[in-house]
Copies of this chain bind each other. A is one copy, B any other.
Amino acid sequence: MKLYDYAASANCYKVRLLLAQLSAEYERVPVDIFGGDTLTEEFAAINPGRTTPVLEDPPGTFLQESNAILLHLGRGTPFLPDDPQVYRWLFYEQADVVPTMGGLRFRLITGRLAPDDAESLRRRAASYEVLELLDAHLAAREFFVGGRYSVADIGIYGYVHVAGEAGLDLQPYPALRAWLERVQSQPGYVNDLEPYPPNSRVGASRSIYD
């Protein structure tokens, strides 16, 4: 099993977290997404969408989209309960968490947006709506689905746990903060998400984000 992987991507980190908790053996294939690695013909054959992560399992069979990988790896394990709410939260994550706080964090840290740009303000307001929804859901729940830790939590944790780096204040969301700590106390928890490197800066980057 190979993971085409970027150390500073929270979408990739989600998969690494589940793999660690499954004690799965795999080979990490580093993809320098800001150094042009996803713009090659070779990478297009692995993922024409030119995103990471991609799981190769078995050799020659590629699975794209972080949350699709979570569902695939989680199958038959305690991390994937038999409840369609898991799907609901993973789709919500890609449609509402990633473009708001995930996209805002990336653009602020790498100089693609300034904090007072209209686009930043729009994404910040939308991020707070998402944080409020998540906090309300967790007010009477330990985890997102079925009372136990699952791939739904892993998916949402990816970008939410670094929302502060998007300039967002998590103080008003006590249930969400308690949940972050519960995730961090799970057996096998790891956090190897790295900071964005210098070549991710606007102007220095050669990627699909330019």
Contact = CB atoms under 8 A, between A and B. Distances in A.
Given A94-B94, A94-B95, A95-B95, A64 B88 contact: yes
A10 to B, nearest CB: 14
A1 B39 CA distance: 46
A98 B158 CA distance: 22
Contacts of A88: 63-65, 68
A91 interface: yes
Interface residues of A, number: 26
Given A71-B87, A72-B84, A72-B87, A65 B92 contact: yes
Contact of A67 (B48, B91, B136): B91
A48 B89 CA distance: 12
A109 to B, nearest CB: 21
Contacts of A48: 133, 136-137
A177 B92 CA distance: 29
A56 interface: no
A27 B96 CA distance: 28
Contacts of A69: 84
Contacts of A66: 91
A121 to B, nearest CB: 15
B49 A92 contact: yes
Interface string A41-55: 000000011000000
A92 B71 CA distance: 14
Q: Which of A72, A90, A96 has the most CB of B within 10 A?
A: A90
A96 B95 CA distance: 9
A80 to B, nearest CB: 12
B63 A84 contact: yes
30 contacts: A48-B133, A48-B136, A49-B92, A49-B133, A63-B84, A63-B85, A64-B88, A65-B87, A65-B88, A65-B91, A65-B92, A65-B95, A66-B91, A67-B87, A67-B91, A68-B85, A68-B87, A68-B88, A68-B90, A68-B91, A71-B84, A71-B87, A72-B84, A72-B87, A90-B91, A91-B91, A94-B94, A94-B95, A95-B98, A99-B99
